[in-house]
Amino acid sequence: AFLRCTFTANTADDGGAAAFAALDTCTLSSNTASGHGGALYACAATRCVLRDNTALFGGAAFSSALANALLTRNTAAQSGGGLYNGTATNCTLVANTAADAGGGLWGGTAVNTLFYANTAAAGADHTDASALLYSRSAPLAAGTGNTAALPRFRNADSGDYSLLSHSPCANAGLSAAAPPGTDLNGNPRVQGTAVEIGAYELDPSVIDYYGFEQWLHRNGLPIEPQTQFSLDHDSDGIPN
């Protein structure tokens, strides 16, 4: 098993960084596989960051079990920009790319997992063969508890994909399916009424108000992330 390790710029036919291994709190970046799994092949990885890895199938990982992991900017020359088959539980997959299908996930299963801004010729976030539960993707996936609402990251431009307190992904997961232990940042789960969708747990004592939300809060008006720009809050006949 690997604990708190860094794997960078490794190459292999399958599993550019590791194969048939268990990893916890590791960072895997810029690894390459000519075949399957740019970083991981048939691995179990918890609280890991997989970034800028490339492969033919499974840019970040192939047939692996991932939990509390962030997969971002990975690329598959064929399918599965983030993960090809395998499972993702309380993971965040952002800005992964596949030339063919499944920019985020090809096949496989995702629970409490957040997909955003992944790209592919077919199935940008995931393929039709993927099974999602209590997860965020666009368009809305079939399955219980799924959402297509904007996730409202804290600072996506700087790579911070933790959630703002008013994110529709907050308290929206299936707590019974949450992985044991802490989230990707080392924070305990579950802290709110339910586990978050994605790799990061929210501290319920932190309340975020920005811009228009701050105005709503000052004026005692409800903060509704999905409708706040279409509701007529002040009854003047103009949505605002």
pLDDT tens digits for range 66-113: 999 999 999 999 999 999 999 999 999 999 999 999 999 999 999 999
16 vs 221 pLDDT, higher one: 16
pLDDT of residue 239: 46
Of 201, 123, 112, give the one whose Cα is nearest residue 163. Answer: 201
User: Three-class SS of residue 23?
Assistant: strand
Q: State the DSSP code for 177.
A: G
Q: What is the pLDDT of residue 240?
A: 47
Give the type of residue at 115: F
Contacts of 73 (CB under 8 A, 6+ apart): 51, 52, 95, 96, 97
* Exposed/middle/buried for residue 131 (C-beta within 10 Å: 0-12, 13-18, 19+): middle
